[in-house]
Structure 1
Amino acid sequence: MTSSTPSARSTGHSGSERTHNGPFAVVTTVFFMWGFITCLNDILIPHLKAVFSLNYTQSMLIQFTFFGAYFIMSMPAAKVLTRIGYKNSISLGLLIAGLGALMFIPAAMVPSYGLFLLALFVLASGITMLQVSANPYVALLGPEKTSSSRLNLAQAFNSLGTTVAPLIGGAVILSGAVLGAEQIAQMTDAQATAYKIEQAQSVQVPYLVLALVLAVLSAVIFFWKLPHFKDQASGEDEKTSYTFKDALAHRHVLLGMVALFLYVGAEVSIGSFMVNYLAMPNIGNMSESSAAHLVTFYWGGAMIGRFVGSYLMRYVRAELLLGVFGLIAAALVGTTIMTEGHLAMYSIVAIGLFNSIMFPTIFTLGIAKLGPLTGKASSLLIMSIVGGALIPVLQGSLADTIGLQVAFFLPLLCYLFIAFYGFKGSKVQTPVA
């Protein structure tokens, strides 16, 4: 069918001005869990890089696999969403993520980098289902005018998960001394194999606990009485059925996809390289376990910024705040590139504070005033999280050739586009039929 705008009657997100506080509180636990899971990757990267003697590009396959699942699984997740609804999709996503976490046990027993990547793909497929269903679900749980504020608040609990994860992951996974490639090369084959098994198995306990928690949370969501919003989930409005093409016809959706692609890519790149970056002699000159604690401040800044941003958006337009934060983040990346020591170190950590509002704000601006197209637009935006797969690999390649510090110019460019989207690109325009 030709692109069209959903009827005026259908453009509201929830069909009700009432905010569902109880369901909102339940769903925030889901945001916490996937934030915790995603940030554990930042601890896995330096650990597996050392265990399997990987270069920067090879180690970024962790993020490539994890975030690549978003691109591959977003549309299938959207189709599942239209069939089983928001609540059941959230429950299913938690269950799939739990299965992926459980797969870390055989991956560590071998040990095999390929099996770790497969486990990460399954885990990320579950998170994709959560992203496609939970983000728009929170936006639907109240008036559209406060959807950005509400999603920022939910994402603040996501950031609480990312803040806690480096502390736990650093203590459990990075607690022991990891040998370098030269030291491993001096071992016999049997010694090297035994060493890799010992180091790889340090991830088993945290991911086993994670699998159990996800399974329990899945059951809680499934049996809890939550609103369904069936019309928005099915993508139907009376006798009209909408397609992904219809959603793409809206300029703010298309540019929102680009902005979200670049944001996730920049955020993941910075988080992924931060432990190695802070350990560099001219930056922080610290151990990897100490650097992991500073990563906590990076994600903790995002948590604080989302709580503050949720409040500010009651008085400041979301798109304006997004533009300002994009410019500040770009300035901080520029500072860390051009300086050394404490200034470079604190500049990169401070970026987390201004990353804070970006994902939820871009997301809610991208699905604004779409009515029954909300589910389709949500899926397209979640596909854009593939930026977290591609941009870190590209920065890893740049780091291998021109150096890690200079390679941060790539996130700088990302933040400049995000500022453009906030100031101008997010404006809702009627598509041409």
Structure 2
Amino acid sequence: MNAATETGSVPAPHYGVALAVTTTIFFLWGFLTSLNDVLIPHFKSVFDLDYTRSMLIQFAFFGAYFVMSMPAGRIVDRLGYKRGIVLGLVVAGIGALLFLPAAQVQSYGLFLAALFVLASGITLLQVAANPYVSLLGGEARASSRLTLAQALNSLGHTIGPAIGGLLILSVAVLGADALARLTPAELAVYRDAQAAAVQWPYLGLALALFALAAFVYLFRLPQLAGAGHGSSTDTHTVADALRHRSLRLAAVGIFLYVGAEVAIGSFLINYLSLPQIGNLSESSAANYVSYYWGGAMLGRFAGAALLRHVEPPRLLALFAAIAALLLLATMAGSGTFAVISVVAIGLFNSVMFPTLFTLGIRGLGPLTARGSSVLVMAIVGGAIVPLLMGMLADRVGPQRAFALPLLCYGYLVWYGLQNRRTTPELAS
């Protein structure tokens, strides 16, 4: 690596190639995350779970963000962003491989453990890749740049449920009475089919993760000033970063936004299967989960352009308000109206995470890695909010339980409005 690369004085053309490589990683972790929305109804049926216990899938997955984000920040400080990304891909690959023994013994607990390991790798990727993309250029365009990268993440989210529904939910799940009528030989065949439904997809994902790790390791990503310097002598702490009010408020925003987005996606298949809503089969409803995440993808491509002309906090407040109105509509409606209302929320989720993230780390300088860890730790909202919504749904039903993400969007409206005056002017 030459001196120019080490000091961050990298020619501008290198930024485009680095961004292209990094966005491939965004795509893959989006694909992996969205598969949880398919695993929830699958395991709910296979293991006869209620809503609360089925949401332990998201609790195990997004709980890893809370547990592992601080260690991930220290790893990025020591290794730099490139090696941190490589390690994250390898750990995620190991987690995907663990699905094979978990499926073989049909253990829900082992599946949750495998998801935790997989999400630990993704946590490391989040800590490394999000600030890296944010800093690949000027600060005024950071939200636009990260929104574009997140659009590729949404592409993964869009494709994941459709493929997962085809490979996993296409295997018929039998009820307790039907299982009791099977002979031992038939029961063994049935269990093998259920195991294979998740084994082969996750084996393929593990191989893809390892291959991408090897590619990134061999590819020369540029180092950036103030990012991933690879120093093990850094004395900055999380407490130093948390002295910034903007970081604290953005962390709360990410907690609530991710919680709302994940909770809605987690409930979509079961919600759209209700007779009064969509009356769809689970495999058909999985396609609507793809539409939900596909809306976020389209919104992010459009948002990347909009954020060049509209203040990020203003757009955040507007989109959060529209998402809240759509939630009210699906709570009050039924049939096609309720289906369209809830699926359309994905379009307006689009700019929220990248805008919150870039506003949160803005101006942190050498504290960027620590601030990134705080913001990634806040993704634990994806563990807490769906679990709370599951508890609420067991009592009042899934349609009324959408009141919880509605409150989350209310905070985002307030956050966007109160941040309008503190945003740097957009360059012409």
TM-score range, shorter-chain basis?
Answer: over 0.9
1:357 to 329, 334, 351: 351
In the alignment, what sits opposite 1:380? 374
SS at match of 2:402: helix
Letter paired with 2:310: V
Distance 1:179 1:285, change over 3 A: same
Q: Deviations over 1:218-270 (max 9, x none)?
A: 0111111111236432598xx98422111111111001111000011101100
Residues of 2 paired with 1:94 and 1:240: CA distance? 24
Letter paired with 2:33: T
1:68 to 63, 67, 80: 63
Residues 335-354 of structure 1: matches in 2 within 5 Å? 335-354=329-348
**Fraction of identical pairs, as percent:** 57
Say yes or no: does 1:306 pair with 2:300.
yes
Distance 1:23 1:187, change over 3 A: same
Distance 1:15 1:252, change over 3 A: farther
The answer to whether the Cα contact below 8 Å between 2:161 and 2:287 also exists between their aligned partners in 1 is yes
Residues of 2 paired with 1:351 and 1:41: CA distance? 19
Q: Deviations over 1:128-165 (max 9, x none)?
A: 00000000000111111100000000000000001111
Residues 41-56 of structure 1: matches in 2 within 5 Å? 41-56=36-51
How many residues end up aligned between the 2 structures? 414
Letter paired with 2:241: A
Say yes or no: does 1:413 pair with 2:407.
yes
The answer to whether the Cα contact below 8 Å between 1:48 and 1:200 also exists between their aligned partners in 2 is no
1:181 offset after TM fit, Å?
Answer: 3.9
In the alignment, what sits opposite 2:167? 172
Letter paired with 1:36: F
Residues of 2 paired with 1:265 and 1:427: CA distance? 27
The answer to whether the Cα contact below 8 Å between 1:148 and 1:318 also exists between their aligned partners in 2 is yes
SS at match of 1:253: helix
2:133 to 138, 160, 183: 138
The answer to whether the Cα contact below 8 Å between 2:77 and 2:234 also exists between their aligned partners in 1 is no
The answer to whether the Cα contact below 8 Å between 2:389 and 2:401 also exists between their aligned partners in 1 is yes
Distance 1:16 1:327, change over 3 A: farther
SS at match of 1:232: coil
SS at match of 1:263: helix
Distance 1:144 1:17, change over 3 A: farther
The answer to whether the Cα contact below 8 Å between 1:97 and 1:127 also exists between their aligned partners in 2 is yes
Residues of 2 paired with 1:256 and 1:203: CA distance? 36
Residues of 2 paired with 1:242 and 1:235: CA distance? 14
Residues of 2 paired with 1:128 and 1:150: CA distance? 20
Q: Which runs of 5+ in 2 are unaligned?
A: 1-7, 424-428
Residues 237-316 of structure 1: matches in 2 within 5 Å? 241-316=235-310
1:34 to 29, 32, 35: 29
Distance 1:426 1:193, change over 3 A: farther
The answer to whether the Cα contact below 8 Å between 1:235 and 1:375 also exists between their aligned partners in 2 is no
Q: Which moved more, 1:244-253 or 1:185-194?
A: 185-194
1:332 to 297, 313, 326: 326
1:18 offset after TM fit, Å?
Answer: 4.3
Q: Deviations over 1:192-240 (max 9, x none)?
A: 565344213211111011000100100111111111236432598xx98
Distance 1:60 1:49, change over 3 A: same
1:420 offset after TM fit, Å?
Answer: 1.1
Letter paired with 1:301: G
Q: Which runs of 5+ in 1 are unaligned?
A: 1-13
2:106 to 108, 111, 114: 111
Distance 1:414 1:223, change over 3 A: same
Residues of 1 paired with 2:252 and 2:180: CA distance? 43
1:428 offset after TM fit, Å?
Answer: 5.1
The answer to whether the Cα contact below 8 Å between 1:267 and 1:355 also exists between their aligned partners in 2 is yes
1:183 offset after TM fit, Å?
Answer: 3.1
1:427 offset after TM fit, Å?
Answer: 6.2
Distance 1:86 1:189, change over 3 A: same
Residues of 2 paired with 1:150 and 1:36: CA distance? 20
Residues of 1 paired with 2:88 and 2:352: CA distance? 23
Residues of 1 paired with 2:180 and 2:331: CA distance? 34
1:228 to 212, 218, 223: 223
Distance 1:182 1:270, change over 3 A: farther
1:187 offset after TM fit, Å?
Answer: 5.0
Distance 1:189 1:393, change over 3 A: farther
1:59 offset after TM fit, Å?
Answer: 0.6
Distance 1:255 1:338, change over 3 A: same
Residues of 2 paired with 1:426 and 1:57: CA distance? 38
Residues of 1 paired with 2:263 and 2:177: CA distance? 27
The answer to whether the Cα contact below 8 Å between 2:36 and 2:57 also exists between their aligned partners in 1 is yes
Residues of 1 paired with 2:239 and 2:215: CA distance? 36
